Structure 1
């Protein structure tokens, strides 16, 4: 497995934890959308977070969407994940260039700016669950931490990182989510908070060759870490010509007829994976029938 997610517990089930290595899926997103380094970093963090949050869901058909709407030059980021480690996503503006932030890092917060984070969970019920919070920093990890604390009332620590090579390909990507369950001992909370403030950044740890298991061992080793399972993670889009055909049917005969009358083939683009589908006039006539 190149990219994968680890699920774990610690402190006699008082803590649950997730960690991911996501270099390949973030690089896949970069290639498909031709993103600039700062956007690769922002989208990569969101994809990594979404993949881990997807792994928290129970049902095979459950879907989770993280949607950022913001005033920064990227304008918005979206990532969708299922419970099986499949994730896809895109940026509204993929080629934003910014100088580094004061720490000399890619300025994801500057690209995102002020805005809101929507978390939508479609679990096959009548209505999907939707939570919304204001972005705190636009750096993604802190925003997800804030979301868990306010919308789900789960004290959490989220760490996400993407490191780029000089040629703008992805060098490292991954992260972790640590969550305290309602009955966690105060002493454990204090020890854990101390541990998290003292540890290195996600990208530093990944650059040292640490796996998701090692990341969790670093944070939770003193609390009796138990790895419960692992699952592969990948950038995966379920778009197809059949699905696009169904979407075209839904626009109605009048609009389809206008396309046919234009006499030109049409091209439909999938936002999530940037795949183009071309429909000839004959195909449009078939659909119109």
Structure 2
């Protein structure tokens, strides 16, 4: 069952251009990730939020650049990874997708408990081939708080973020969305107060995602009576970079000795972490790759 409107990422400004904002509607994208990895509701929520966070951060980068986010927590999920780029392509996985936890004291999915304490790691892959990694302690495990803490600590950017995934009892993703507000240099107290007032009225972004009939509706429902401009719109979707050719390179790297065992079995199956795609190699495939490995 797909969502009623296509997933998109919108960028714009608030008021007199003193606040940058990015909004994502990502219900279908998170649903695809959940289906691929067969995640429980709490794992779906953690993965969906982190995928959203990677897209929010990547929105200001060049098209071919990417952000990799890792939640290296000590909770039962055992770590969550998401990779997003400025084109709106995202992928990710959870180390332990079958984790189930009771609801938290607010009656919501216990994402913080599933993530646990540890590090929030942000790696930027730039177009010139360089990459930079920054790490901050996980402050809540709710992911939106951790994103804001990272931006404030590592990049000295005052921000506010909303990330939410609503999963039904039948495991269907009913709504998933994200929003990032960033104060630009010279933002007035009036703009800051306006934003704080509006954010204090929002109980959560996932119910807004469920109740919205279009991306336009979603943005309008989040903004309330704040004046905003939309500057750009981009499609969003689950997209993995794996292929049988790439996976073959992994097999070739095991070398001659590793290949002997594979040839005896006459079959190999490799599974992509990010999209759970299964790649099968029969005896003929393996013999061909063995020649390349030699």
Same fold (TM over 0.5): yes
Q: How does 1:50-65 map to 2 (within 5 A)?
A: 50-58=54-62, 60-65=63-68
Counterpart position of 2:208: 205
Counterpart position of 1:263: 265
Q: Does 1:146 align with 2:149?
A: yes
Counterpart Cα distance in 2 of 1:100 and 1:128: 38
Deviation at residue 193 of structure 1 after TM alignment: 1.4
- RMSD (CA atoms): 1.7
Q: From the superposition, tell whether residues 73 and 198 of structure 1 become closer, same or farther in structure 2 (CA, over 3 Å).
A: same
TM-score by length of 2: 0.92
Counterpart position of 2:17: 13
Counterpart position of 2:110: 107
Over residues 62-90 of structure 1, what are the superposed CA-to-partner deviations in whole Å (9 max), with x where a residue is unaligned?
Answer: 11111111100001000111211110100
8 A Cα contact 1:23 1:172, kept in partner? yes
Deviation at residue 214 of structure 1 after TM alignment: 4.0
Over residues 78-135 of structure 1, what are the superposed CA-to-partner deviations in whole Å (9 max), with x where a residue is unaligned?
Answer: 0111211110100000011111000000111110110111111101334301111111
8 A Cα contact 2:208 2:222, kept in partner? no
Counterpart position of 1:158: 161
Counterpart position of 1:286: 288
8 A Cα contact 1:17 1:216, kept in partner? no
Equivalent of residue 199 in structure 2, options 193, 196, 199: 196
Q: Does 1:38 align with 2:42?
A: yes
8 A Cα contact 1:10 1:220, kept in partner? no
Counterpart Cα distance in 2 of 1:73 and 1:2: 33
Counterpart position of 1:86: 89
Counterpart Cα distance in 1 of 2:196 and 2:104: 26
Q: Does 1:49 align with 2:49?
A: no
Counterpart Cα distance in 2 of 1:277 and 1:235: 19
Structure 1 unaligned blocks of 5 or more: none
Deviation at residue 11 of structure 1 after TM alignment: 2.8
Query: Which stretch shifts more, 31-40 or 202-211?
Result: 202-211
Q: From the superposition, tell whether residues 116 and 4 of structure 1 become closer, same or farther in structure 2 (CA, over 3 Å).
A: same
Structure 2 unaligned blocks of 5 or more: none
8 A Cα contact 2:67 2:83, kept in partner? yes
Q: Does 1:236 align with 2:239?
A: yes
Equivalent of residue 76 in structure 2, options 73, 76, 82: 73
Deviation at residue 221 of structure 1 after TM alignment: 6.0
Deviation at residue 282 of structure 1 after TM alignment: 2.1
Counterpart Cα distance in 2 of 1:21 and 1:219: 12
8 A Cα contact 1:43 1:89, kept in partner? yes
Over residues 195-245 of structure 1, what are the superposed CA-to-partner deviations in whole Å (9 max), with x where a residue is unaligned?
Answer: 211223102222322644444445556553110111111111121101111
Counterpart Cα distance in 1 of 2:215 and 2:143: 19
Q: How many residues get paired?
A: 287
